[in-house]
Every structure is written in C-alpha cells, then in structure tokens.
Copies of this chain bind each other. A is one copy, B any other.
Amino acid sequence: MREHLYAVIMAGGVGSRLWPRSRAATPKQFLDLVGPRTMLQETAARIEPLIPLDRVLIVTAEDYAEKVGAQLPNLPEENLILEPGPRGTAPCIGLAAIILQQRDPEATMAVFPADHVIADAAGFREAIATAGQIAQDGYLVTLGITPDRPTTGYGYIQRGQPLARTGALPAFQVQRFTEKPDTATAEQFVASGEYYWNGGIFIWRVDTILDQMAGLLPALYTHLEALAQVWDSPARREALAAAWKEVPKTTIDYGVMEKAGRVAVVPVEIGWDDVGNWATLSALMESDEVGNVVRGDGQPLLLETEDTYVYTSGARLVAAAGLAGFVVVDTPDALLICPKDRAQAVRDIVAQLEAEGYNEYL
C-alpha cells in the first residue's frame, strides 16, 4: 500500500489571527512562525519519511504559486494545484482526489493543513500509516486529537465501537461529529473520555472519497469529473475557473464526514496545535526564566516584563516596561499590541481594516 500513499497539503488559508505577520500576500503557512523553517516546509518535512515529495500534492491559491515553488523547490510542478478562489475544503479535496485517481487508481490520500504544529512527527506518521491501512477497508478515516482542555474553539469527534482490523494503533468507528460546542458541552465531552478534537487531518482511498462525493455532493462531483477530462490539457485553467464559479462552497466536515456512513477515528497524542493565535503560538515556544518569548531580527528592550511574546522585525527599537501577559508584534509597516487573553481579537482588527479599506495592511 505504501507506494500508493499520497499526501495532500492544503495551503490556501489566510491566517488572519496571526496578523500583522500573516498577511494576504504571505499568510501563516509561508512564515517561519515556530522554527527556522516555514510551516509549509515543516509540514512537508514531517511527512517526508513516509511520503516523499513526489507523492505530495499542494493545493493553494494561484497567488501563492511562487511562494510554494520557492519554499519547496523539489516539488514536481504537476504536484501543485492552484485554486482560482476559496470554495471550502470539499472542492479542494475533491479536486486533489480526482487528479490523484487519474494518476493512480489505487491511491490513498492523507489530507492535512499546512499551518499546524505537530511536536511528535514520528507519532504523526505512525498514525497516518495506521489510518492508511484502515482506509483500505473503505473507511473515511480522521485523526482524533486527544483533548487536554474543554476548548470551544474546535469541532469534536465522538468515538463509537472499536474497529477489529486496524494497524499499529487502536481505532474506532465515529459516532458523531459536533461543531464547536458551548463550554458546558465541551466540558462534558472531555470528561467522558469519548471525544476527540477534529484537527482536519483525513485519510482515505481516492475511490472511497469520490464515491461519497458522488452521493453526497453530486453537483461538485459532476464538476470534478469534467475537470478530470481536461486536467492535462491547455483547457485546464479556463475550465477550473468556470467550475469554481459554480461549485457550492462546502467544507469536507459538513459536506461529507458528518453524513457518510463508514467513518473511523484514530486517536492520537502527537503535540498537535493549530497555532490559532499569538497566545497559543507563544505557548508553543521556549520562554526565558520570566516567561518571555522574543523572536524576530530585532532585540527589544524589556524592563520588568513577564509572560510576554515580542516579535520585532528589527525595523525599529521596541521598548516596553511593566508588561505582563502581552503580545507585541512589530512588523515594518504595522504593529499589534494586546493582552494574550485578547489574542482572538486580532481577527476583529483585520476585519475592521478590511471594512475600512486599508488593503495595504491586509
């Protein structure tokens, strides 16, 4: 099976909660937010021992083609799929699936976002390998992140009966998907031990997912079939643009996973984090003895400051006194200051910039 295992990395997001570093022109996945490599490079490197780059597809926006090429110079050109616009994860995944099916009808694909952190790369690959085996029985498989807190920020997956035939790791039928719950429900979920976070990591055979799409998202499937016919011809670009104007916007969770019959979950504890905002990013990084994390080319001057994340591009001197639990992100043209517990508000800042037409800062 292993030579039929492919990776599909979704790299089209905008990452607005990591503004002002994450911008429309260079979103989160193309930034070295956590380590010396960009998140996209890290994502490709993480899977590489299991799936080499020639079996990795990157799906992203047309505008980011050059960025992907520069960051993954060894990626075969035909492995780069450029969406004319964002239509949700279902069309994106469907397109990758039908392209893979043409190349290899036996293909199994592992889908994951380009902008997540996974501390335990070996554990991640083991889970993907296990999920790949389960997928051979016609399952749509998802990794279930074992929750360590009752957050209301993620979707939850309830496990059902254990699967008899699995790989190195245990796996379960999926009982139910629940979108972001309220706090009481989330607490109940976590206390029960039966629920996992939905981290958006999926594994399935291409024939399985395309069968499901044909049944559950027939309009999309019709477009995909037509696109497959012209994919390797000069008509590709125009056909894709036309199709993408018409396909309904849908997520794979809502469009397929919540409705499909044969769905399985492989529970994992792999140090997963979606790097949702500056506070969660900061928590992933090693801090100094007073809890400060300092990144970027500049050297800030921090007096009596603790539990604070400072990124400074070096374009100017950043000096602070008396900060506790703050985020300061200083880029050449925009500066963000907020307490860590308000890091989600960055999305509102970006929304306001958008509403007021400050496109140069987006």
Contacts and interface: CB of A to CB of B under 8 A. Distances in A.
11 contacts: A303-B348, A316-B332, A316-B333, A316-B335, A317-B333, A319-B335, A319-B337, A319-B353, A321-B348, A322-B338, A323-B338
Interface stretch (A32-40, A208-216, A258-266, A339-347): A339-347
A321 B303 contact: no
Given A332-B316, A337-B328, A322 B304 contact: no
A345 B316 contact: no
Contacts of A318: 334-335, 337
Nearest to A317: B334
A352 interface: yes
A262 to B, nearest CB: 45
Contacts of A358: 317
A258 to B, nearest CB: 34
A254 interface: no
A341 B323 CA distance: 11
A118 interface: no
A330 interface: yes
A337 B348 CA distance: 21
Interface string A289-313: 0000000000001011000000000
A283 interface: no
A321 B349 contact: yes
Contacts of A348: 303, 321
A318 B338 CA distance: 11
Interface residues of A, number: 34
Copies of this chain in the oligomer? 2
Contact of A352 (B303, B316, B330): B303
A20 interface: yes
Given A303-B349, A330-B335, 12 more contacts: A20-B319, A304-B345, A317-B333, A317-B353, A319-B334, A319-B337, A319-B353, A320-B338, A321-B337, A321-B346, A328-B337, A335-B335
B303 A320 contact: no
Contacts of A301: 349, 352-353
A20 B318 CA distance: 10
A139 to B, nearest CB: 43
Nearest to A341: B322
Contacts of A335: 316-319, 330, 335
A228 interface: no
A349 B319 CA distance: 7
A313 to B, nearest CB: 10
A153 B326 CA distance: 30
A301 B223 CA distance: 43
Contacts of A328: 337
A252 interface: no
A82 interface: no
Contact of A303 (B316, B323, B345): B345
B334 A320 contact: no
A304 B336 CA distance: 14
A161 to B, nearest CB: 46
Contacts of A338: 320-323
Contacts of A319: 20, 334-337, 349, 353
A16 to B, nearest CB: 12
B345 A322 contact: yes
Contact of A316 (B326, B334, B353): B334
Contacts of A322: 338-339, 341-342, 345
